[in-house]
Structure 1
Amino acid sequence: MAHAGKSGRLVVAAFIATTLAQEAADAAKVQWRKVADQLRPTAPKLTTFMDTAEEDMLAYMSFPPQHRTKLHSTNPLERVNGGIKRRTEVVGIFPNEDAITRLAGASLLEQNDEWAVQRARYMTLESVSQLSDDQLVTLPPMAA
């Protein structure tokens, strides 16, 4: 498999995709181990990497199923970072560190407000609040 080229990479990608498509965390872990064990004789470097990366690769499985598809993308984060970058480039030189913090903070607050009132939210506050073990965590009142 190490010298199988593009077709070998596609096979490995398909194997890993079956793991990431599992509904339950336990099933994904079992599938991950099965894929690693199947590849071990032909791709030892890859399987060593898989052994090391298993926990990180399957971390998203601790989230509710409705969140998992959204966790595959960093697009929302990249968009926020792009907005901050655009605003800082307009200013150019800042007088001090506090000025940068204020500008970035204002940009983040604006983005938070947009996400709070958005019709099709990236993740709803209600579904995210279920992830907390802290009983003191409460949601702010919803805007009408």
Structure 2
Amino acid sequence: MAIGVDYSGNRHILDAEVANSEAEVNWRSFLEGLVRRGMHGLRMITSDDHSGLRAAIDAVFPGILWQRCQFHLQQNAHSYVTKKDDIPLIAADIRKVFNAPDRENAERYLQQLVEKYQKTHPRLAAWADENIREGLSVFNIPENHRRKMRTSNLAERQMKEINRRTKVVGVFPNAASLLRLAAAMLIEQNDQWQNDKRYLPESNDRPALNEIYRKKVA
């Protein structure tokens, strides 16, 4: 599923498909389909770190700004913490990085985090040094767009609702019937968004308004 935010700050369901896996070939076909249908002006993609999706993004949109979902980064960090009692403190330190006023301070806070946990949680420190920066691309867009563009939560919520509805049905006879249900739900959501207030405010950075923010989630 793909959700986009246009230059006016309004949300749109761009497309949805059913595939038998999250392999690169499936994601690549999906992304190429968006391009064929006229999607252009892409500025940034926000997603989780799925290898198939990342490879497809690099192939179809080389050089595009990619933001790794900060929520998923926080969740991933927990698996590198051996003492569960330390999770709240570590989570707060990671939030400090993400909530920094600018990229320079975010990098400084990240370095402090890595140094702080090198001895007590060396696996966490190494993971953070290698991965957290992928969640800092959002500092390259207007400040008043960052909070909503730093995670893929918008798309995650839609997927959660689709999963809930499909579980009620149980078994689908084929992929087409599953897609029909999902598409009906997404069309309804898209119509609702058109009557809602803007998802993102307009920016004084006029060139940024000529781009489309694109959110993608596995």
TM-score for both structures, normalised by structure 2: 0.46
- Counting aligned pairs with the same residue, the percent is 31
Helix, strand or coil at the partner of 2:100: coil
Q: Which residue of 2 aligns with 1:140?
A: none
Q: Which residue of 2 aligns with 1:26?
A: 104
CA contact (8 A) 1:15 1:35 kept: yes
CA contact (8 A) 1:39 1:47 kept: yes
Q: Which residue of 2 aligns with 1:110?
A: 188
**CA-to-partner distance for each residue in 1:33-76, whole Å, 9 max, x for gaps?**
12212322332121111112123332433443223333466654
| Whole-Å separation in 2 of the counterparts to 1:100 and 1:27 | 46
Q: Which residue of 1 aligns with 2:136?
A: 58
Q: What letter corresponds to residue 114 of structure 1 in structure 2?
A: Q
The alignment yields a C-alpha RMSD, in angstroms, of 3.4
TM-score for both structures, normalised by structure 1: 0.64
User: Computing the radius of gyration over CA atoms, which structure comes out larger, 1 or 2?
Assistant: 1
Q: Gapped runs of 5+ residues in structure 1?
A: 138-144
Q: Which residue of 35, 45, 49 corresponds with 2:123? A: 45
Q: Which residue of 2 aligns with 1:141?
A: none
130 and 105 in structure 1: CA distance in 2 versus 1, 3 angstrom threshold = farther
Matches within 5 A, 1:121-132: 121=198, 123-124=199-200, 130=208
Deviation (angstroms), 1:132: 6.6
Determine which structure has the larger strand proportion and give its number.
Answer: 2
Q: Gapped runs of 5+ residues in structure 2?
A: 1-80, 213-218
Q: Which residue of 84, 91, 94 corresponds with 1:16? A: 94
CA contact (8 A) 2:103 2:139 kept: yes
How many residues in Structure 1 have an aligned counterpart in Structure 2?
129
100 and 27 in structure 1: CA distance in 2 versus 1, 3 angstrom threshold = same
